Amino acid sequence: MMQRRLFLSGISALGLGASRLALAAGPAGDARLVVVNLRGALDGLAAVPPIGDSGLAALRGEAWAFEPGTEGGALDLDGRFGLHPSLEGMHALFTAREALVFHAVAGPWRSRSHFEAQDLLEGGTERRTESGWLNRALSVLPAEPRGEPRIGLSLGSAMPLLMRGNRPVGSFTVPDLPRAAPETLEVLARWHATDPLLASGFSDGLRGRRFGNAAVGGDPALRDRDGFRRLSHVAGRMLAQRPGPRVAALDLGGWDTHVGQAARLRGLLAQLDAGLLALRDGLGDAWGRTAVLVMTEFGRTARVNGSAGTDHGTGGAAFLLGGAVAGGRVIADWPGLLPSRLLEGRDLLPTLDLRRLAKALLRDHLALPEEALERAFPGSIAVTPLPGLFRPA
Amino acid sequence: MSARALHAVTRFGLGPRPDQPLPADPERWLRAQIRTPAPLPGPDAADCGRVSRLRRDDPGFMPSGYFPQEARAWLGRLLLSPDGFLERWTDLWCNHLCVSRRAAGVSSWGGHYHRTAIRPHVFGRFEDMFLAAMRHPAMLNYLDNVASYGPGSRAGQNGRLTANENLARETLELHSVTLEGGYAQEDVASLALILTGWNIGRGPDYREPEGFLFRGIRHEPGPKRLMGETFPEGEEGGVAALRFLARHPCTYRNLARRIATHFIADDPPAAALARLEASLSASGGDLGEAARTLVALPEAWQPLRKLASQQDYAVAVLRGIGAGEEGVEPLLNRLGAFDQPLWMPPAPIGWPDKAPGWNAPEQLMRRLDWVSALSSGLAANFPLDPPELVERLRGPLAPEEVRLAVARAPSRREGFILALAHPGMHRR
């Protein structure tokens, strides 16, 4: 503990800025981070079609080329890349310089197994581990003052590996189940309070629930039938609280488009788009201090398979959105889609390590000390945070 | 209502069912379950191998392998079986030698693994179970032995390909002797070499169903040393090495600890551990003997203090409200929502078996949410009143304040919530 305090005061002595210290000193910091994990592997070439690369039509056929200005055409970003037409909201954010689009991105793993790649994406280590990089990064912060909400927040029914670990984090599921009556909870709380194995978990759990309900209770958005949009809005509302959580994680699944990809992606991308806008609306003014990372475990094959879908691949797309982001750019060291440039002749070649985005979020956005980067991604000092992704605070 | 009978079905079994009478003689009921279990039906090795191969080439083919049907059969038994001790005991060994669907090749083979490699041996000799597990495609896939090459083997291409130590390391540390065995990194490396060539395939003529295949072309030549012993080249060297590990005194201690931690307490009393260890040593690792010893241990009959896992709780509640076959699908979904999906432990050490793994705030809140939702349905349809449910589930083991509160609950629904969510329901 002593060592950490010295380390933090060393940072302030280096004059690295007040906001940096504010967060490092406790949950009073203002920066918000949301990580959205697209489970099942998003096809980056469909979400962010490289409209300037003639190789796309050569590989996938004209129907998959998304020529801007045509029916179902891409929304142009910079002449080289476009966005899938379902991502209208994201396109508006891009135009407002609140979105960065990354392409030819992948983590350091080359597994094409969903579970394994998801574990490595969330674990942040070379081998599978039982804690997530975000949890370990947060573990450098001092504990929240008694009675205040946890800095970390997991939304949805299952705690993702990303958020698991020694650092206690809060969690919230939209209360769509009938709850026990207050007097029943009171009786249960009294019984649990004297149970050595259950007392602290039960009272902590109820406390988290009360905070969540106070933050969003009665909100008409809770009746939204689109579960992801509902959860995103709730995430925004909770992150806007002071004091409140600052780092949240949520999932959207269903991206494993082996069959009939075009129709499925239209719906899924529209759902993602609506959820991101709901998140922004829920955050209100806090959107200005927010960065949202949208990531997935791997990209999909450059070619279309026999079922009008795509199979497990490697390089793909990622997004960084929010008022804190220095947006309006596509960041890609584009390898091209010539067959000779494909990884193993089948996948988009990754040229950007996803960890560089994650590290930039931890260091430059959350202003966490280097120690947090080392804990999150041990032994990867050569993988440096990508510079210049955020507006000066 | 016998306290001892409720103790037996709750601690050793999976919880009482209202449609199953409590055993009149609990010890006898437990001992009667210590027998070789009847084989379970399911896809055979040929089917599993075929599906596994097809899925490898086309990940969209049967995306979950045989998992859905195997899982339903497996959970159906947990829900309905009158032999709760046999099923809990089986689950313990599945967890000890766990495989996880988080690895490729386990979704197709996992059910077959639990049915054929673990279950037939749960009351037999540990070394037979251990060998069956280590030779099974699920384990060879899960811990990467299929990707292991002897660097000096013909397929190793003069050291270009090397041994994968994953299976060797986990098996020493978790399945057998543990760190107490005093082995060194060179023993891990050596066991990995001993097991090179242990792989999956279809036999020399490609006619047999897929299964264990010793691929000599990948096997590291020459005798190898492991923990001071020498083992010959070839498949039989691996068999001998695994038998040596299975019979090691430190393995018996590990197994005794597993049993006592699961059935007695997170920190089991030394005397109980010693008795279990002695029974395993004396019987050459006979798990049936260990089970008989366990049942006779006074420590195993101390008041319930083990904290139920998410699965334990979900199964006990559904059994408690008499759920039939229609409860299987909800149970499968519930395990996912409870973050303990079936056959998907996060790491080779398996699911936690101590309280800190199961008392995190969100885990407890999800239990509460779930029984709150269930209770709405019970209020409308359940044939018993809440106080009667408490009586059936815990009888004399339920504290007086719980009986009183349940009897005075403002509605049937709130009464069921209290009956299913009071602290005693999280114990086994």
d(CA A308, CA A306): 6
According to the model, what pLDDT value does residue A16 have? Answer: 35
Residues from chain B that touch A309, judged by Cβ atoms under 8 A, are 60
Question: From CA B256, how far away is CA B237, in angstroms rounded?
Answer: 27
A126 touches chain B (CB under 8 A): no
Helical (H) or strand (E) element with A38: strand A32-39
> Nearest-CA distance from A7 to chain B in Å?
31
With cut-offs at 50, 70 and 90, classify the pLDDT of residue B209.
confident
B58–chain A Cβ distance below 8 A for any pair:
yes
CA-based max dimension of chain B: 78
Cβ-count burial B91-129 (b if 16+ within 10 Å, e if not): bbbbbbbbbbbbbbbbbbbbbbbbbbbbbbbbbebbbbb
Q: Which of B67, B309, B369, B371 is the best residue to mutate to test the A interface, defined by the most A CB atoms within 10 Å of its own CB?
A: B369
- B265 touches A: beta carbon within 8 Å: no
A301 in contact with B, Cβ within 8 Å = no
| DSSP letters spanning B58-70 | -TTSSTTTTHHHH
Beta bridge partners of A153: A170, A248
State the DSSP string of B370-381. HHHHHHHHHHHH
Segment B90-141, tens digit of pLDDT: 999 999 999 999 887 788 899 999 999 999 999 999 999 999 999 999 999 9
Long-range contacts for B58-64 (Cβ within 8 Å, ≥24 apart)? B58/A258, B58/A311, B59/A112, B59/A256, B59/A258, B59/A311, B59/A312, B60/A258, B60/A259, B60/A305, B60/A307, B60/A309, B60/A311, B62/B108, B63/A256, B63/A258, B64/B107
- Torsion over CA: B110, B116, B121, B126 (sign): negative
The alpha-helical segments, DSSP class H, found in chain A are 2-13, 18-25, 44-47, 55-60, 88-95, 114-123, 133-138, 182-193, 199-216, 227-240, 261-283, 354-360, 370-376
Give a yes or no: residue B69 inside a domain: no
The DSSP H or E segment spanning B88 is helix B84-96
Contact A119, A205 (CB under 8 A): no
Alpha helix positions (H), B114-199? 126-134, 137-142, 166-170, 185-194
Please state the separation of Cα B24 from the chain's center in Å: 28
Q: Output the pLDDT for position A62.
A: 81
- B307 and A CB contact within 8 Å: yes
Q: Using CA of residue B273, residue B274, residue B279, residue B281, what is the dihedral sign?
A: positive
Q: Which residue has the tokens 């393995």?
A: B251
Angle at which helix A2-13 crosses helix A18-25, to 10 degrees, equals: 170
CATH number for the domain spanning A338: value is: 3.40.720
Test A180 with B337 for CB contact under 8 angstroms: no
- Range scoring the smallest mean pLDDT among B43-57, B287-301, B370-384: B43-57
* Helix boundaries (H) for B181-269: 185-194, 235-246, 249-263
Note if the bond before A339 is cis, omega within 30 degrees: no
pLDDT tens profile B303-357:
999 999 999 999 999 999 999 999 999 999 999 989 899 999 988 999 999 998 9
B322 falls within a domain: yes
What phi and psi values does residue B427 have, to the nearest 5 degrees?
-105, 155
Domain extent at residue A338: 28-376
Who among B103, B376, B405 is closest to A116 (CB)?
Answer: B103
Cβ of A205 within 8 Å of Cβ of B362? The answer is: yes
Among residues 345-364 of chain B, which lie with CB inside 8 Å of chain A? 346-347, 355, 359-364
Residue B144 maps to a domain? no
Judged by phi (left if over 0) then psi (alpha if -120 to 50, else beta), residue B234 lies in left
In a domain, B268, yes or no: no
Minimal-distance CA residue of chain B relative to A259: B60
Nearest neighbour of A181 by CB, restricted to B368, B414, B421 = B414
d(CA B284, CA B126): 8
The per-residue b/e assignment along A14-44, b for 16 or more CB within 10 angstroms, e otherwise, is eeeeebbbbbbebbebbbbbbbbbbbbbbbb
* pLDDT, tens only, B192-201: 999 999 999 9
A177 touching chain B per CB within 8 A: yes
List of chain B residues whose C-beta atoms are within 8 Å of the C-beta of residue A211: none
- Which of B267, B312, B368 is most worth mutating to test chain A (most A CB atoms within 10 A of its CB)? B368
Quick check: is B162 in a domain? no
* pLDDT digits 0-9 by tens, A289-347: 999 999 999 999 999 988 888 988 999 999 999 999 999 999 999 999 999 999 999 99
* Structure confidence at residue B392 (pLDDT): 94
Q: Please list every residue in chain A whose beta carbon sits closer than 8 Å to the beta carbon of residue B418.
A: 184, 187-188
Q: What total number of domains does chain A contain? A: 1
Q: Which of B103, B361, B411 sits opposite A205 (nearest CB)?
A: B361
pLDDT of residue B1: 54
Chain-chain contact of A198 with B359 (C-beta, under 8 angstroms): yes
Q: Do A184 and B417 touch (CB under 8 A)?
A: yes
- Determine, yes or no, domain membership for B210: no
Residue A381 lies in a domain: no
Closest CB to B426: pick one of A198, A259, A309.
Answer: A198
Identity of the amino acid at A258: H
Distance CA A181, CA A189 (A): 12
Give CA–CA dist B219/B236, Å, rounded. 12
Residues of B in contact with A311 (CB under 8 A): 58-60
Per-state percent for chain A, helix, strand, coil, to nearest 5? 40, 15, 45
B368: phi then psi, degrees, rounded to nearest 5: -65, -45
Cβ of A311 within 8 Å of Cβ of B103? The answer is no
Q: What is the pLDDT of residues B151-183, one digit of tens each?
A: 999 999 888 899 999 999 999 999 999 999 999
Whether A300 maps to a domain, the answer reads yes
Report if residue A251 sits inside a domain: yes
Tell me, what's the pLDDT at A176? 52
Minimal Cβ distance to A177: which of B307, B373, B401: B373
* Residue A325 DSSP class: B
How many folded domains does chain B comprise? 1
In B, residues 100-139, which contact A (CB 8 Å cutoff)? 101-104
Q: What is the band of B219 on the pLDDT scale with cuts at 50, 70, 90? A: very high
- Evaluate whether B151 touches B159 at the Cβ level (below 8 Å): yes
Q: Which two tokens stand for residue B241?
A: 């090495």
- Is B57 at the interface with chain A, CB within 8 A? no
Token representation of residue A170: 């809060």
A325 belongs to a structural domain: yes
Q: Which of A191, A200, A312 sits opposite B422 (nearest CB)?
A: A191
Chain A contact for B325, CB < 8 A? no
* B97 domain-assigned: no
A3 lies in a domain? Answer: no
How close A66 gets to chain B, by Cα (Å)?
Answer: 25
pLDDT mean over B36-46: 93
Cα A320 → chain centroid:
8
Supply the range of the domain harboring residue B358.
310-426
Q: Name residues of chain A where pLDDT drops below 50.
A: 1-28
Query: Is residue B390 in some structural domain?
Result: yes
Q: Is A130 on the interface with B (CB under 8 A)?
A: yes
CB contacts, 8 Å: B337 with chain A: 157-158
